[in-house]
Structure 1
Amino acid sequence: MYKLIALDLDGTLTDKNKNILEETKQELIKLAQKGIIIVLASGRPTAGIFKEAKELTLDKVGGYLLSFNGARVLDYKTNEVVYEQTLSSEVAHEMYDRAKAFGLSPLTYNATEIITEDIGDHWIQLESFTTKMNIKHVQDFKKEVNFDVNKVLITGEPAYVAQILDEFKAPYEGKMSIYRSDPYFIECMANGIDKAASLDVLCKKLGIKQDETIAFGDGYNDLSLIEYCGYGVAMENAVDEVKERANYITLSNNDNGIAYCLKQLEEKGLI
């Protein structure tokens, strides 16, 4: 029997308009009320997941927010930080310099806002729309970011990001976790951070076995999660690498793919 469901948000839990479809919402609320643990596992900052957590009533039934690709894990009901890894301000500044050297746009976050010099960047505007967080436009990124951060996010045109990614991250191999999530995002976090590693910490804390977990995902940063969980499900709209490694491919995020799969598992008595 599966006891925990880990869900990526963008392209997975939410549709093309960044909304949770009603059928999917009701299915997840029903399972949460039965005692299934819901984990929202996203590259988004913590505050950028609150809307979806509230919609799924995780403040009442309980659940966890695995944010910044796993750099922070929060018990949403109690507000307890279960796990956290940060980058020093000095490392954040270094990532800023690296981004600028490649002609890319860097950003990071405080508790409630996106911090960047590049307010006109299309992909940064998209991050603001997705997370429902305002942009704090600063003149001097390094002067503003004088605190530890969970993540530095770097944006660029997808084709260019794919072209330079290996060169960009080469000096940090074994020192930091740097990888692509969406085709236009490079995620920079503490070494060893990914969704699966943080979910493993949470599962051990909760006494849940790896083969008792389900994951849904669509993007490059979901690969570890799909491989880690007992039942890894790729959305129909997922990138090919995720589909290749999944146990099952469900319908798309615009077609209630999560609900469709979970109902099948319920019928088989697996959840």
Structure 2
Amino acid sequence: MNIRAICSDIDGTLLNSERDLSPRLKSVISQFPKEFPLILASSRMPDAMRHLLRDLGRPIEPLIAYNGGFVLDKAGNVMDSVEIPINLVAKILEMTRKTEIHVSLYHGENWYESKEDYWAKREAQNTKVNPTWMASEAVLDLWAKGNKGAHKVMVMGDSNEISWLFGELHLAHSSDLHLYRSKDTYIEIAPRKISKATALKLVLENRYDFSMDEVIAFGDNYNDIDLIQSVGWGVAVQNARPEVKAVAKEVTLHHKEGGVAATLERIRGLRFKI
């Protein structure tokens, strides 16, 4: 099989224990031709991905943000945008109002936070992006005027409260929402009909002359399963969920041990053939 593009998740996959890009990874990426696509697919917002591409020396690449809900081509043009309806966003906010759960709201290039607490500071530190400080009600008013919804809602807090919210949302809205519990203290909420795999397929069909079968993809979590299954060579890092490993064609090293770099070094040595 001839590999013609790389697609990778970020957190828990591409980054090391310092939540950064290792020198080893930067080195192996630099050995691939500039015309060889490196497509990041993440639950992150675009700006939390762009600085990583710049650090890899690949600033002009397509971006699959919000787990596939917001897709940009190399020129920054929006190829797809799928939102959570504003009435559902309002319901999530109402459900969390009497809890200690922290709610972050995302649309396109914007991340909104209502208070500068532990969770907001942690996310800013992890992603190297600063939010727009605005009350959630004001964000809803703004979106209502522009006929917009959320590309992502992220809720963070005590694991018991997060478990309760996950159960309630799954019971009432499993047909409308993807609920990714990336950690016991997190739920990443996205529209049901999108995925990293559908977004990658869209990018390839509209901007490239090859198919999913000629892509190598890396992932670790539930939201990577469709992607790993849909490409020609799906790779799970050692720290991946068992369900991800089960569908992968290869299990590489732990993300803290440079798993993505190790596999790319091997296929680079094989002249991109597996």
TM > 0.5 between the two? yes
Counterpart position of 1:104: 101
Q: Does 1:80 align with 2:77?
A: yes
Q: What is the number of residues matched between the two proteins? A: 265
Deviations 1:122-167 (A, max 9, x none): 44332211221224444x3122332123111111334653565243
% identical equivalent positions: 25
Deviations 1:196-245 (A, max 9, x none): 12112112222322211111111222222112221111112222222222
Counterpart position of 1:141: 136
Counterpart position of 1:168: 169
Counterpart position of 1:254: 256
TM-score scaled to structure 1, two decimals? 0.87
Q: Does 1:40 align with 2:40?
A: yes
One-letter amino acid of the counterpart of residue 267, structure 2? L
One-letter amino acid of the counterpart of residue 262, structure 2? Y
Counterpart position of 2:211: 209
More deviation, 89-98/37-46: 89-98
Q: Compared with structure 1, are the counterparts of its residues 84 and 177 closer, same or farther at alpha carbon in structure 2 (3 Å cutoff)?
A: same
Q: Compared with structure 1, are the counterparts of its residues 172 and 100 closer, same or farther at alpha carbon in structure 2 (3 Å cutoff)?
A: same
CA distance in 2, matches of 1:134, 1:21: 23
Q: How do residues 1-271 of structure 1 correspond to structure 2 at under 5 angstroms?
A: 1-33=2-34, 35-59=35-59, 62-76=60-74, 78-100=75-97, 103-109=100-106, 114-120=111-117, 122-138=118-134, 140-145=135-140, 146-147=142-143, 148=148, 149-158=150-159, 161-162=162-163, 165-205=166-206, 206-271=208-273
Partner SS for 2:246: helix
Query: Is 2:101–2:161's contact at 8 Å kept on the other side of the alignment?
Result: no
Query: Is 2:204–2:211's contact at 8 Å kept on the other side of the alignment?
Result: yes
One-letter amino acid of the counterpart of residue 171, structure 1? A
Deviations 1:62-118 (A, max 9, x none): 421111111111124x12122221234333222222334665221113566532334
CA distance in 2, matches of 1:245, 1:102: 37
One-letter amino acid of the counterpart of residue 216, structure 1? F
Q: Which runs of 4+ in 1 moved over 6 A?
A: none
Deviation for aligned residue 1:32: 4.2
CA distance in 1, matches of 2:225, 2:238: 15
CA distance in 1, matches of 2:185, 2:166: 11
Partner SS for 2:32: helix
TM-score scaled to structure 2, two decimals? 0.86
Deviation for aligned residue 1:191: 2.8
CA distance in 1, matches of 2:187, 2:139: 21
Runs of at least 5 residues in structure 1 that lack an aligned partner in the other structure: none
Runs of at least 5 residues in structure 2 that lack an aligned partner in the other structure: none
Query: Is 1:154–1:187's contact at 8 Å kept on the other side of the alignment?
Result: yes
Deviation for aligned residue 1:5: 0.9
CA distance in 2, matches of 1:157, 1:64: 35
One-letter amino acid of the counterpart of residue 71, structure 1? G
CA distance in 1, matches of 2:13, 2:248: 14
